């Protein structure tokens, strides 16, 4: 049983590390690719790689979260507020994925929501393990507002910068 818990612990942490790192690169690729106003095939391919790594990490996290939830329900144990908050964030991000796949989401929303939610997930997971659910939700909502302003300021700055000449 201890080996199984150790394996789940490792897979969960691997998922968190992978999604956070992939999210950093995905948003960097996004800002780089919108710089000239056109996302070309190469830029789309790099963004797709980051997106696929996010999906793999999310798969690890969803799997370990479902196992933890089932174990708690069967064993009658209590799950922390942090666990429920992280589950809430997973639901937000899965909803984002569904809207993206159905092409029902504005272009600016998906990268912003994906990045800010994964950063919130990582921060809550690593720095706020004893906070209440309500506190975590309030921090998340404030973080979304701050991230939205920062995201739009960065996009506006990128749009006004002249591109350097390319080397061919």
Q: In this structure, are residues 107 and 155 in contact, taking their beta carbons and an 8 Å threshold?
A: no
Report pLDDT digits (tens) over 51-91. 899 899 999 999 999 999 999 999 888 899 999 999 999 99
Q: DSSP 3-state helix, strand, coil percentages of the chain (rounded to 5)?
A: 80, 0, 20
pTM confidence score: 0.83
Residue with tokens 């996302």: 39
Question: In the structure, what pLDDT confidence band is assigned to residue 164 with cuts at 50, 70 and 90?
Answer: low
Q: 119 by DSSP, 3-state: which?
A: helix
Question: What's 60's DSSP letter?
Answer: H
- Whether residue 167 has pLDDT greater than 70: no
Measured CA distances, 34 to 21, 28, 31, 105 (Å):
20, 10, 5, 17
Average pLDDT, the chain: 87
Q: In this structure, are residues 86 and 129 in contact, taking their beta carbons and an 8 Å threshold?
A: no
Domain ranges of the chain: 2-160
């Amino acid at each position: 049983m201890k080996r199984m818990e150790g394996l789940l612990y490792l897979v969960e942490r691997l998922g968190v590390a992978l999604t956070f790192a992939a999210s950093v690169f995905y948003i960097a690729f996004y800002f780089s690719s919108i710089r000239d106003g056109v996302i070309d095939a190469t830029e789309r391919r790099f963004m797709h790689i980051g997106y696929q790594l996010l999906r793999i990490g999310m798969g690890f996290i969803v799997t370990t979260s479902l196992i933890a939830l089932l174990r708690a329900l069967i064993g009658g144990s209590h799950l922390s507020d942090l666990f429920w908050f992280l589950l809430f964030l997973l639901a937000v991000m899965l909803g984002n994925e569904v809207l993206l796949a159905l092409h029902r989401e504005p272009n600016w929303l998906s990268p912003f929501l994906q990045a800010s939610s994964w950063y919130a997930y990582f921060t809550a997971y690593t720095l706020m393990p004893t906070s209440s659910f309500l506190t975590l939700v309030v921090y998340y909502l404030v973080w979304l507002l701050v991230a939205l302003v920062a995201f739009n300021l960065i996009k506006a700055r990128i749009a006004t910068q002249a591109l350097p000449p390319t080397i061919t």
